[in-house]
Amino acid sequence: MLFLKNPPTFLFFTGKGGVGKTSLSCATAIRLVRLGKKVLLVSTDPASNVGQVFSQEIGNKITAISTVPGLFALEIDPQQAAREYRERIIGPVRGALPEAVVSGIEEQLSGACTTEIAAFDEFTALLTDATLTADYDHILFDTAPTGHTIRLLQLSGAWSGFIEKNPEGASCLGPLAGLEKQRQRYAEAVKALSDPERTRLILVARAQKTTLAEVARTHQELAATGLTRQNLVINGVLSAEEAAYDALAAAIRHREQAAIAGMPAALRNLPVDQLPLKAFNMVGVEALCSLLSDQDESAPAGNGAPPAKCADLPQLSALVEAIAGRGRGLIMMMGKGGVGKTTLAVAVAVALAERGLPVHLTTSDPAAHLSDTLAGSLRHLEVSRIDPEVETERYRRHVLDAKGQDLDAEGRAMLEEDLRSPCTEEIAVFQAFSRVLREADKQFVVMDTAPTGHTLLLLDATGAYHREVTRHGVDPQLHYTTPMMQLQDPERTQVLIVTLPEPTPVLEAAQLQEDLRRAGIEPWAWVINSSLAAAPTASPLLKRRAALEVAQIEAVRTRYAKRIALVPMQTEEPVGIDQLRSLLNPAP
């Protein structure tokens, strides 16, 4: 394994949810311990299950792993860290400031940036603790900070007080308001991260075109901050032997190999390892040891249940029928990257247009290619794309001109970095999308990729819309509808959450649902995409993987979704109108 060659003190595993970061970091820790090293494994992943993997409780304290002498673990709960962090900032002003102002600050501190910075606040102590680094040969981190967070912490400006001077347009600097005392510690932590002799970053991906494109962006973003020592691990690759069993397995193998062969140029010069797909969950030491070996795919003793059958769930066509009955409205596809939002959005738009209903299909996903997926044209279907780069740059210029003109060089640098946050892009894109929203009163508008509940609340809190109407003296007796009101109206908007039948994607989708509910938006349905449990196969390995999906499908059905549709893994790439139809009504 190239990523394990001459490992430095710090190893960071990063990648989107569901690619196997936790499994790989745990397996690596065991490998290093068996080479005679003393290892500390630290998780800052909100979806972490390190304790479950080792079948023991860990929590926010360094704990010896009983089944692996020499291995110690620590789970930092990022949500708890964020709650404590928010309270340190908001507590002193609660009661002293108007309730509306406190609510605005709370929302400012409720996004992903706050959670990540709070977690970073916790583990910088580990990076800079000389006693700790002397005690362990290697410290492994399950989930690395983003380039945006690192750049924020590299800024030398005065963090405290910035948000009070610039309450509008700032989405990530709020979390920095209480960090002045840790400035020196952060500087030391960033220095350790940027030292190739001490730190290696392992980019974890699946053999999928969209996932590899996302990893390439992460690689470039982190390299620009100084984290130049990087390796790529492509996890869960189906073997050629399994591909020989049937058409589905062969199609999966073909798609994966095509994605690897066509990976972005930015990744091709990195040291790359490929790990085979396993037929069982990575729970227990024996299973973890097999992840980094070339053993056959037989499950360790006691691991993996016999194939099970999931409940008879509706197809995507059932949801489309219910949507079509409304005659018009906004359909928003939401979910994490790589779950298939674009394909499903196009499929729903095609199905509605083929019923003779006028449809405007649009996207703000920089990686989405609606026209390529559609591969044709249909009467009643209009396709457009909102360019995130163009809209974000326009928004940045506006905020810098309006809020940055009176700032000194340090303050302007902080504002510019704040405007590189993911929230900024969502705000900018939504402002462009709000122009399309008006069409939903007359026809269907299907949007691929929508802003999170936090971003919507942030817009609301900063007066970007909704309250803007009443603030500018509009007669409250007059009838008006703002974008937020339209999104909150279940008669006018249906939000479909897209996920995969795997633990991390389901957990992330559930967190997204809670995020939306905070904004007063109730998801209308869930779509579980690319299910092996719904696709017949002769491959022994895929059969076992299908059995593992059942628990996740049942969790969605019984705990999270009011409506649900199950879309099988496809043998043919869902490109073109004919193949998109097959997503709606799969063949038996």
Q: Which one is catalytic: 18, 236, 304, 329?
A: 18
State the catalytic residue, choosing from 14, 15, 22, 392.
22
Catalytic residue among 14, 16, 23, 373: 23
The DSSP string of 171-193 is: SSSGGGGG-GGGHHHHHHHHHHH
**Residue owning tokens 């494109």:** 213
Rounded distance between C-alpha atoms, residue 14 and residue 217, angstroms: 12
Other CB atoms closer than 10 Å to residue 384's CB: what's the count?
10
Q: Are the beta carbons of 567 and 530 closer than 8 angstroms?
A: yes
Residue 262 makes CB contacts below 8 A (sequence gap 6+) with: 209
**DSSP alpha helices (H): ranges in 361-421?**
370-374, 388-403, 409-418
Q: Indicate which residue of 25, 45, 110, 448 is catalytic.
A: 45
Burial category of 266 from C-beta neighbours within 10 Å (exposed 0-12, middle 13-18, buried 19 and up): middle
Angstrom distance (rounded) from CA 277 to CA 292: 11
For residue 317, count other CB atoms closer than 10 A to its CB: 17
d(CA 499, CA 334) in angstroms, rounded, equals 9
Residues 159 and 414: their CA atoms lie apart, in Å, by: 8
Find where tokens 């995409």 sit. Answer: 529
- Among the listed residues 48, 493, 504, 539, the single catalytic one is 504
The active-site residue, picked from 15, 20, 169, 178, is: 20
- Report in angstroms the alpha-carbon separations of 528 from 373, 550, 553, 569: 19, 11, 8, 10
Query: Catalytic residue among 15, 17, 21, 392, which?
Result: 21
Backbone angles phi, psi at 441, to 5 degrees: -75, -15
Q: Does the active-site annotation cover 18?
A: yes
Closest CA to 5 of 40, 49, 35, 26: 35
What's CA 6's distance to the chain center, in Å? 31
**Token couple for 398:** 């506006």
Bridge-partner residues for 94, per DSSP? Answer: 97
Task: Check if the beta carbon of residue 385 is closer than 8 Å to that of residue 370.
Answer: yes
Residue 507 dihedral angles phi and psi, to the nearest 5°: -65, -45
To the nearest 10°, report the CA torsion of 231, 236, 238, 242. 140
Residue 203's DSSP bridge partners are 14, 232
CA-nearest of 538, 556, 453 to 502 is 556
Q: How far is CA 501 from CA 3, 17, 549, in A?
A: 29, 12, 5
Q: Is 16 a catalytic residue?
A: no
Q: Which of 4, 6, 11 is nearest to 199 (CA)?
A: 11
Residue 36 zone, left/alpha/beta (φ > 0; ψ -120 to 50; rest): left
Which residue, chain included where needed, has tokens 């996004």? 111
Residue 20: active-site member: yes
Alpha-carbon Rg for the chain in angstroms: 24
Q: What residues pair up with 574 in beta bridges, in sequence order?
A: none
Residue with tokens 């998109």: 580
Helix (H) or strand (E) holding 427: helix 422-437
Collapsing DSSP to helix, strand or coil, 376 comes out as coil
Q: CB count, 10 Å around CB of 422?
A: 17
Q: Which residues are catalytic?
A: 18, 20-23, 45, 504
